[in-house]
Amino acid sequence: MNKLNMNVKNYFLPICLILVLSFSRLIPHPWNFTPVLAMGIFSGFYFKQFYLGLFIVIVSMFLGDLYLGFHSTMFFTYISLAVAVILGLYIKHFKFTEILVTGLTSSICFFLITNFGAWLTLEMYEKNLAGLFQSYVLAIPFFHNTLISTLLYLVVLKLLFNFSVRKKVA
């Protein structure tokens, strides 16, 4: 029975994270204002295992995509989430400076990777340097939501994490 309790405790947090992330994509929100990048970073930091952190983020995105629909840039979105998990692996103490650096870096990587994917897969862009530049310029208005939401959710996760450590929940 103790082994069953340990397994439930070990998988409770990842399962909850998957469900919360999946649900967060289904509730109305501004474009690109989601906790997904923050959860990728936090998963890398918390679990210290690339595959588990990536699994949590990818499964939550995939469950949301089952409802919202699949799109041509999914591969690029998932790659940018893998980058967020990798960044989280390098966080040592989850300090505000680490949050700022990883939040900014993951947001920039997400912007660069997903808009490259949009340029590559969508017919609305010419397949030349001008079309690539246009894909980045047209995406600038969405970048601030990505950056603000990533930093905001990372701060919320830090506060929850600090609280759980003090209360010996985590």
The answer to whether 7 touches 120, Cβ cutoff 8 Å, is no
Kindly tell me the number of DSSP H helices and DSSP E strands found in the chain: 6, 0
Largest CA distance in the chain: 63
How many domains does the chain fold into? 1
User: What residue spans of 69-128 are helical by DSSP H?
Assistant: 74-89, 96-121
Residue with tokens 């893998």: 82
| 0.85 exceeded by pTM | yes
The rounded mean pLDDT for the chain is: 89
- What pLDDT does 22 receive? 77
The band of 17, judged by pLDDT with boundaries at 50, 70 and 90, is confident
In this model, does residue 159 exceed pLDDT 70?
A: yes
CA dihedral 22, 25, 27, 32 (to 10 degrees): 160
The answer to whether 37 touches 110, Cβ cutoff 8 Å, is yes
pLDDT in tens, 38-91: 999 999 998 899 998 899 899 988 988 898 889 899 999 999 999 999 999 999
Range of the domain at 70: 2-166
